Amino acid sequence: MRHYHQAAIESSNGVQLIVALYDGLQRFLTQAAVACEVNDVAARREAARRSLNIIIHLQATLHMDAGGASAERLSDFYTAVFADVLRASATASRQLFMNTAREVRNVREAWQVASQDPSALSMIPLDLQTRQEQLSNTIQPSKTVAIRPSANEDKAAPAWIA
């Protein structure tokens, strides 16, 4: 089973990997809610810890300089989710864990739509692309449209689009 998961991860694009992280986050939030229901303190803490680790990873991989307002909104979302997980764990609130899982699911669904849109993949900065995506971008000409031309060249794409 582990080999299957490893192969799935290696063949995923960057956005699909984010979706996988959201899946894990949602799973651990649900596990924490169930642990609250059965009063299993150790399981609640473990599920909350794993949720927090995913949130920290998602927050740490944001590129604030390249992402602009979208990155700021995601950062605010991750901060709120982090705070909710801490509060839910401290108060053993099944309902707060479930509400947080629902919010995560909504954002996950948006990422899922983006993972299936080839035009969305072309907008991922090179340093966030998987090796497979980087290779496919060098073979096929990019169809990226500049959002804001550089001062030197009217048709140049912004640096974060590469």
Q: Domain residues of the chain, as ranges?
A: 2-116, 119-162
- With 0-12 / 13-18 / 19 or more C-beta atoms within 10 angstroms meaning exposed / middle / buried, residue 136 is middle
- Which pLDDT score, from 0 to 100, does residue 160 have? 45
- Which pLDDT score, from 0 to 100, does residue 23 have? 95
Q: Are 56 and 86 in contact (CB under 8 A)?
A: no
Mean pLDDT by 10 residues, the chain (162 residues): 54 76 96 97 98 96 84 93 97 97 93 76 58 58 45 46 40
Q: Which residues, other chains included, contact 84 with Cβ-Cβ below 8 Å and sequence gap of 6+?
A: 96, 99, 100
- Which pLDDT score, from 0 to 100, does residue 138 have? 54
- Which pLDDT score, from 0 to 100, does residue 46 have? 98
- Which pLDDT score, from 0 to 100, does residue 150 have? 44
- Number of other residues whose CB lies within 10 A of the CB of residue 119: 10
Q: Is the pTM of this model over 0.75?
A: no
CATH of 2-116, one of 1.20.120.340, 3.90.1330.10, 3.30.420.40, 3.30.300.30: 1.20.120.340
